[in-house]
Amino acid sequence: MEIKNDGLVRLKAVLSEIQSACEDFGIHSLQTTVKSIVNYTEQNHYLDFAVLGQFKVGKSTFLNSLTGKNYLPVGNIPVTSIITRLRFGPQEKALVTFLNGSSKEIDIKDIELYVSESGNPENHKEVLLVDIETPVLADLKHVRLVDTPGIGSVWRHNTETTTGWFPVLMKQ
Protein backbone atom coordinates (compact mmCIF):
# COMPACT_ATOMS: atom_id res chain seq x y z
CA MET A 1 0.00 0.00 0.00
CA GLU A 2 1.40 3.42 -0.89
CA ILE A 3 2.06 5.95 1.85
CA LYS A 4 -0.81 8.22 0.74
CA ASN A 5 -3.42 5.50 1.19
CA ASP A 6 -1.77 4.20 4.36
CA GLY A 7 -2.17 7.60 6.02
CA LEU A 8 -5.84 7.79 5.06
CA VAL A 9 -6.45 4.24 6.27
CA ARG A 10 -4.90 5.10 9.66
CA LEU A 11 -6.90 8.33 9.90
CA LYS A 12 -10.15 6.51 9.14
CA ALA A 13 -9.28 3.82 11.73
CA VAL A 14 -8.72 6.48 14.40
CA LEU A 15 -11.97 8.22 13.51
CA SER A 16 -13.79 4.87 13.63
CA GLU A 17 -12.45 4.25 17.15
CA ILE A 18 -13.60 7.70 18.23
CA GLN A 19 -17.05 7.04 16.76
CA SER A 20 -17.26 3.73 18.66
CA ALA A 21 -16.28 5.40 21.92
CA CYS A 22 -18.91 8.10 21.34
CA GLU A 23 -21.56 5.44 20.86
CA ASP A 24 -20.40 3.43 23.88
CA PHE A 25 -20.41 6.45 26.19
CA GLY A 26 -23.36 8.30 24.65
CA ILE A 27 -21.32 11.36 23.66
CA HIS A 28 -23.76 12.61 21.03
CA SER A 29 -22.28 16.07 20.50
CA LEU A 30 -18.89 14.62 19.60
CA GLN A 31 -20.49 12.06 17.26
CA THR A 32 -21.76 14.85 15.03
CA THR A 33 -18.31 16.43 14.87
CA VAL A 34 -16.60 13.12 14.08
CA LYS A 35 -19.13 12.36 11.34
CA SER A 36 -18.42 15.78 9.83
CA ILE A 37 -14.68 15.07 9.89
CA VAL A 38 -15.19 11.64 8.29
CA ASN A 39 -17.32 13.18 5.54
CA TYR A 40 -14.75 15.93 5.01
CA THR A 41 -11.82 13.52 4.74
CA GLU A 42 -13.72 11.39 2.23
CA GLN A 43 -14.44 14.42 0.04
CA ASN A 44 -11.11 16.23 0.28
CA HIS A 45 -7.45 15.47 -0.15
CA TYR A 46 -6.45 17.36 3.02
CA LEU A 47 -7.65 17.55 6.57
CA ASP A 48 -7.38 21.18 7.66
CA PHE A 49 -6.25 22.10 11.15
CA ALA A 50 -6.87 25.78 11.77
CA VAL A 51 -5.13 27.66 14.53
CA LEU A 52 -7.85 29.89 15.93
CA GLY A 53 -7.81 32.36 18.79
CA GLN A 54 -7.58 36.00 19.75
CA PHE A 55 -5.34 38.23 17.69
CA LYS A 56 -1.74 38.53 18.89
CA VAL A 57 -1.62 35.30 20.91
CA GLY A 58 1.12 33.63 18.86
CA LYS A 59 -0.75 31.59 16.23
CA SER A 60 1.82 32.30 13.50
CA THR A 61 4.71 31.84 15.93
CA PHE A 62 3.26 28.48 16.95
CA LEU A 63 3.05 27.30 13.32
CA ASN A 64 6.57 28.56 12.59
CA SER A 65 7.73 26.56 15.60
CA LEU A 66 5.96 23.41 14.33
CA THR A 67 7.69 23.67 10.97
CA GLY A 68 11.02 24.83 12.34
CA LYS A 69 10.97 27.60 9.71
CA ASN A 70 9.89 31.24 9.78
CA TYR A 71 7.41 31.07 6.90
CA LEU A 72 4.77 33.23 8.57
CA PRO A 73 5.40 36.86 9.50
CA VAL A 74 5.23 37.77 13.19
CA GLY A 75 5.50 41.08 15.02
CA ASN A 76 4.46 43.25 17.94
CA ILE A 77 1.24 44.45 16.31
CA PRO A 78 -1.39 42.25 14.62
CA VAL A 79 0.39 40.93 11.53
CA THR A 80 -1.61 38.17 9.80
CA SER A 81 -4.51 39.45 7.72
CA ILE A 82 -5.00 36.63 5.18
CA ILE A 83 -5.70 32.90 5.59
CA THR A 84 -2.41 31.08 5.05
CA ARG A 85 -2.16 27.32 4.68
CA LEU A 86 0.96 25.21 5.11
CA ARG A 87 1.17 21.73 3.62
CA PHE A 88 3.66 19.16 2.43
CA GLY A 89 5.34 19.71 -0.91
CA PRO A 90 8.58 18.29 -2.33
CA GLN A 91 10.11 21.77 -2.45
CA GLU A 92 9.43 25.11 -0.81
CA LYS A 93 7.03 27.30 -2.73
CA ALA A 94 4.17 29.70 -2.13
CA LEU A 95 1.05 30.23 -4.22
CA VAL A 96 -1.18 33.29 -3.85
CA THR A 97 -4.84 32.85 -4.83
CA PHE A 98 -6.73 36.07 -5.50
CA LEU A 99 -10.41 36.86 -4.99
CA ASN A 100 -10.95 36.82 -8.77
CA GLY A 101 -9.81 33.17 -8.93
CA SER A 102 -6.40 33.82 -10.48
CA SER A 103 -3.22 32.72 -8.76
CA LYS A 104 0.52 33.22 -8.96
CA GLU A 105 3.58 31.63 -7.45
CA ILE A 106 5.70 33.92 -5.30
CA ASP A 107 9.06 33.64 -3.59
CA ILE A 108 8.78 32.35 -0.02
CA LYS A 109 10.50 35.48 1.27
CA ASP A 110 7.69 37.63 -0.20
CA ILE A 111 4.84 36.00 1.74
CA GLU A 112 4.61 38.96 4.13
CA LEU A 113 3.78 41.26 1.19
CA TYR A 114 0.52 39.33 0.71
CA VAL A 115 -0.56 38.05 4.14
CA SER A 116 0.35 40.88 6.51
CA GLU A 117 -1.52 44.05 7.30
CA SER A 118 1.62 46.11 6.64
CA GLY A 119 2.37 44.45 3.27
CA ASN A 120 -1.24 44.29 2.12
CA PRO A 121 -3.24 46.88 4.09
CA GLU A 122 -6.98 46.14 4.18
CA ASN A 123 -6.27 43.47 1.55
CA HIS A 124 -5.85 45.98 -1.28
CA LYS A 125 -4.17 43.22 -3.31
CA GLU A 126 -7.43 41.24 -3.09
CA VAL A 127 -5.84 38.02 -1.82
CA LEU A 128 -8.14 35.12 -0.98
CA LEU A 129 -5.45 32.94 0.61
CA VAL A 130 -1.83 31.86 0.40
CA ASP A 131 -0.67 28.25 0.24
CA ILE A 132 2.84 27.35 1.35
CA GLU A 133 4.32 23.99 0.41
CA THR A 134 7.29 22.66 2.31
CA PRO A 135 9.17 19.37 2.59
CA VAL A 136 9.39 19.78 6.38
CA LEU A 137 5.77 18.59 6.63
CA ALA A 138 6.53 15.20 5.04
CA ASP A 139 5.08 13.39 8.08
CA LEU A 140 1.78 15.27 7.63
CA LYS A 141 1.09 14.73 3.94
CA HIS A 142 -2.69 14.79 4.33
CA VAL A 143 -2.86 17.77 6.65
CA ARG A 144 -2.93 21.49 6.00
CA LEU A 145 -2.06 23.78 8.88
CA VAL A 146 -4.16 26.93 8.62
CA ASP A 147 -2.99 30.26 10.03
CA THR A 148 -5.73 32.81 10.67
CA PRO A 149 -5.67 36.52 11.58
CA GLY A 150 -7.51 35.81 14.83
CA ILE A 151 -10.61 37.26 16.40
CA GLY A 152 -11.05 40.51 18.26
CA SER A 153 -8.51 42.29 16.06
CA VAL A 154 -8.33 46.06 15.97
CA TRP A 155 -8.91 45.65 12.23
CA ARG A 156 -12.45 44.38 11.74
CA HIS A 157 -11.68 42.88 8.32
CA ASN A 158 -9.10 40.59 9.95
CA THR A 159 -11.68 39.21 12.38
CA GLU A 160 -14.12 38.73 9.48
CA THR A 161 -11.45 36.79 7.57
CA THR A 162 -11.01 34.46 10.54
CA THR A 163 -14.70 33.91 11.21
CA GLY A 164 -15.22 33.05 7.56
CA TRP A 165 -12.22 30.74 7.14
CA PHE A 166 -14.06 27.42 6.73
CA PRO A 167 -16.26 28.41 3.78
CA VAL A 168 -13.16 29.78 2.02
CA LEU A 169 -11.36 26.47 2.50
CA MET A 170 -14.31 24.46 1.23
CA LYS A 171 -14.06 26.25 -2.16
CA GLN A 172 -10.47 25.15 -2.71
- pLDDT for the residue numbered 111: 93
pLDDT computed for residue 22 by the predictor = 82
> pLDDT at residue 27 above 90?
no
Q: What confidence tier does 152 reach under pLDDT thresholds 50, 70, 90?
A: low
Residue 172 pLDDT more than 60?
Answer: no
**42-90: per-residue pLDDT in tens?**
666 677 777 766 566 677 888 888 899 998 888 665 567 788 999 999 9
pTM of the predicted protein model: 0.65
DSSP β-bridge partners for residue 49: 145
Q: CA 147, 134, 54 angle in degrees (round to 5)?
A: 10
Map out the domains of the chain as residue ranges: 3-43, 47-171
Segment 143-160 shows an average pLDDT of 66
Work out the burial of residue 100: count CB atoms within 10 Å of its CB; fewer than 13 is exposed, 13-18 middle, 19 or more buried: exposed
